[in-house]
Each structure stands twice: as structure tokens, then as C-alpha cells.
Structure 1
């Protein structure tokens, strides 16, 4: 039985209604009172839990033996020292590694095929992809299908509904997505939201155990909160970068000046061409936004520390069902 898209309420939104600030008049999002999030097992927490269970089992067995045989008696200080030793002598995964482990099965590589673009930006991206594949920067494209654009997508409904950036697939004659298990499938555009540079794809074939990402409201998100970006920069990936939220409600105008995006999340986790359309997640692996742009005043089209993501409230509404 297919599961609908998963949503989690903001942990900071769990305060009482009297404590909440007035709604921002500049925002077009009016978050409803969130429901208590359902508890679910997070695979990234497994190693930490197993270590604590092992410590608890060892301590419990020692206590039982001591009580039965009238010998060893452990104090609370002994127990604390045993747990501390377990934590100090075992390497636990970082918070970013746990977040990446949770979201990775929902991340897909998106490739648009069609006539090759002749813009300077497209040529820069092509050189980057060639270098990533170990080819000369100006290596010609192979005959047949030409990669018009490479980006990232995230599965938000486990029947194969994928969010990505519109600029990744715009003008493509054919779209292919590659899932976490290596399955490659054709995909079609089923909806677009040009004002937020978003496209919704439907994969024609999906893995049997496809996992949809969970989404978290950005209500309560603050500058300094840790985030992770997962995607395919220059086609390499899935690649993981981590950083923090640098600002909220930012605006960005495309280098060509053709489009201006607003209400964006600014972040400093490394992102480059190919990260477009990928998820920006919190430390629980929940999607906060869709990576859509990087700021670089030069023509290099490389990351200098400022990236932007469309908040998940806007992104999920492109599917037709606002989540919060």
C-alpha cells in the first residue's frame, strides 16, 4: 500500500498559541498549528542506540550476577563511567552523516536530454561534467542523446513523484531519473511552478522499496541551524555537504535577469551546478527546501559560500497539496 507524502511539524512550533509571534505580513505562507509528529525509526540513529543498549545490557548483567552471588555491587558512578567509556571508545557518526543516511534513499539523479545549450553557463556546466568523468574539458558529446542538463530531485511520494528545479528539465525532449538502487527510468513533467523554479516529475518505473522523504515546516527555522545538501554537483554523487542556515526570506535574481525568486532560505553548505533540485535537510534528514541557486558575481558558476533553497512549503504546493 502506497504511503502519502510525509510531513513533520516544526519542533519550535510546539509552543503555545499565546507565545507565537504574529504572522509576517510579507509572507504568503500561513502555517497552521502543527500536529504532534509521528515517531518513526531513523536509521541514522541505529548505531548510537545499539551502543547504549549494549552498555545497558552489560551493566544489567553485571548487577544481576552481583545480586545473585552476593559479590560485586555497582554504584551510579560506576554506571556513568561505563556508559562514558563506551561513548569515548566508539566512533559515532556525525550529525551530518546521519542526516545524509536518512535522506539518501529518496534522492535521485535527474538528466534532461535534447539539443545542447549554447549559453556560457551551459558550456561551463558541460566542462565541469567532463572533468568529473575524467575527460578533457572540451570533449565532444557522444553521438545520440545529448545531456542538456544534469540536476537532482527528491522523491516526495513513494509512487514516484519527484520534486526538482524547472531549469533542470526545461526544454528537454526526454528526462531520465536514476534512483538510489541504480534503477534508471524515464520521467515526465506533471506540474510546474515557474515563480519558484520548480517542476514535478512522475517516474514511469520505480523501485519496489522506494522511500519518500519526510518534510519539515520551516516555521521556526533560524539562522545558524545546521543543514545538509545532498545532490549531484557536476553529475558526481550523491554528494553530501553540510553547513548552516545563513539567512531567511532572501531574494535572488538570475544572472540573466530573467527571473527573480523571493522568500528563499540562504545557506552555506557547498552547492554547485548539478545540486539544483536537490533537498536541503535538517539533522533529522527532513526536507526543509529545494536547492535552486547559487550566488557568484563572476561567470565562474561555482560556489563562493551563498546558496539558496525554495522553502518546502512553496515546493510541496507545486504538487498541489500544501503540506502544513
Structure 2
């Protein structure tokens, strides 16, 4: 009787990934089972998958980068434009066209003005006992303790002397020195402003005819007033109309001067005092300026107060 055929049993199903069919393998009848296949290598997650896994870290990095960018822009600031030579020339030209610069005379007068004072002498009237003004002139502070130079003829014979400073302070003063040969008197103010300035003095050794000068004072009591001109000559002589006084080694100038200018400073364009205005030449009895004035050199004036020579 023929034997029935023998068949191998069907391969069993192995669990796999969900939805994937189980792999089948055939095994010979009566043989050994083959070794199991190794697992596939692990594949690293893509960058996008990592950021998706940590969304907070991604946003923190974005915000940090944005902050760094803003800080960098703020630190740099707007770009500074470079100036060309034409830009500089145009700016200078506009300044010159729109700004009025003071003249040399203006600068000189402003430099010495705080040191110029009004001087007045008072005495008793011939008839009566009331006090009257006997003379008005000018003075210049040469030491900031209140030492003032003026003309002797401004204060001679006065019972009382007053000086009015640049800031309006008025006080009495005493005569502390006289140099009659140069018509000079030295005054000491009894009260002085806190910020009193002394005028700068300059030697006349390099002074020349034609140099610009200015006279500052109180002509006819009006002022302070300024007038400008030039040095007309040096080492001049002058005799007063009454013949009572003869002066020598004078500076001749043509800046306008009138009664009341006496004792005021004659200054250079640097604002430095080179002389003390002392007289005007006028062959008439009008006692007004006709173009010739005289000043005592500052070396003589400084000697009147015992200051050392230049």
C-alpha cells in the first residue's frame, strides 16, 4: 500500500511593526533553523525634528539673536558723514557773511573800559558856603587795590574828590602822590568794587608815528566816551595857555579829546595803556579839540606811583 506524502508545517508569524506583514521563511524538513537577521541601525532624528521636539528652546534662541542684532545696531549709531574741504570753506564763509566782528578799536576799548573812572573835584563857592563842582576829568586804575592815575589839574585845590567806577560804584578818594612836572596825581579810592580790574600798561619804546591809538574818558562829563586816531609824533613839548606849566617828552595824537578827557588813558589796539591824556592844543579861547592832543608817556606815569620802569 502506498505511503501518504509528508509535508512540512507552515511557518509561524513573527510580530513586527504595526501594519507590516510578518516575514515568512522556509525551513527544510529535518534541518536546523537559520540565524535571526540583525536589527536595522538607529537613524538620528533630523534637525527639524529636534526643534519640533523642543519648541521653547528654539524661540529662546531666536529672541537672543534678535536682541544681539538690535544691540549691535544701537551701539554703532548713525554713520558720521565725512566733511570735505568744501564743506569747511562753505561753513566759514557763511559765518563771515552772517556775523559782524568787532573792530580793533572796539576790542581795545572794551579791554580797558572796566579800569576807567570818572573823577570830580569839589570845593566851596567864592560867595556862599555851598559845595560846587570845580572840575571833571578821567582816571585809570593801575593797581586793583584802588590806585588811580589822573591829571593834577583835575583835582588840584579840591576840598573833596569823588571817583565813579565802571560798575557805578561812587566813592571819595584821597591824593597820595603828585608829579607836578608831568601834571600827574595819584589817587587812592576809599571804597572799591569786588571785581576791580587794573588796566594793562605798555612801554612806549616801540611806539611809532602812525600807530593806531584810542582815547577813553569823560569829555564835558559825558561818558565813558571813546575816540580813535593815530600817534602823530613823539617827544613833543607843550606850554599851557596861561604859561604856568610846560610839559615835555609828550605823545602827540589826533584822537579827539576835550575838557573832561584829562587824566584818561591813551591805549593801543591791544587795549594797553601807553599814556595819560593831559592837554589839547588850541590857540583860541574855545578850549575845544582841533586835532592835536598830548599824553604823558606811561613810563613817567608809573614812576609817579613808584612802579618799576619797564
TM-score above 0.5? yes
Cα distance, 1:321 vs structure 2: 1.6
Aligned pair partner of 1:246 in 232, 236, 249: 232
Q: 1:116·1:148 contact (CA, 8 Å) conserved in 2?
A: no
Aligned-residue Cα RMSD (Å) equals 2.1
Out of 99, 103, 118, the position equivalent to 2:112 is 103
Partner SS state of residue 109, structure 2 = helix
Q: Following TM superposition, by how much is the alpha carbon of 1:302 offset from its aligned partner in structure 2, in angstroms? A: 0.2
Match of 1:85 in 2: 94
Are 1:114 and 2:109 an aligned pair? no
Residue pair 1:116, 1:147 contacting (<8 A) in 2 also: no
Kindly indicate which of the two structures has a greater share of residues assigned to helix. Answer: 1
1:286 aligns with 2:295: no
* Contact 2:202 2:298 (C-alpha < 8 Å) held by counterparts: yes
Cα displacement (A) at 1:276: 0.1
Structure 1 residue 285: deviation in Å? Answer: 1.1
Structure 1: which 5+ residue stretches go unaligned? 1-67, 118-140
Q: Which residue of 1 aligns with 2:180?
A: 194
Q: Which protein shows a greater Rg?
A: 2
In the alignment, which of 231, 234, 256 is matched to residue 220 of structure 2?
Answer: 234
Count the aligned residue pairs.
235
C-alpha displacement of 1:143: 7.7
Q: Does 1:184 align with 2:193?
A: no
Whether 1:210 and 2:219 are equivalent positions in the alignment is no
TM-score when scaled to structure 2? 0.72
Comparing 70-79 and 246-255, the one that deviates more: 70-79
For 2:131, what is the secondary structure of its paired residue?
Answer: coil
> Deviating runs (4+, > 2 A) in structure 1?
68-78, 141-144
Aligned partners of 1:249 and 1:264 also within 8 Å: yes
Unpaired segments of 5 or more residues in structure 2? 1-76
Q: CA deviation at 1:323?
A: 3.6
User: Structure 1 316/256 Cα, relative in aligned 2: closer, same or farther at 3 Å?
Assistant: same
Indicate the residue corresponding to 2:138 in structure 1.
152
Partner of 1:277: helix, strand, or coil? coil
**Offset, 1:73:** 4.0
8 A contact 1:163–1:200 mirrored in 2:
yes
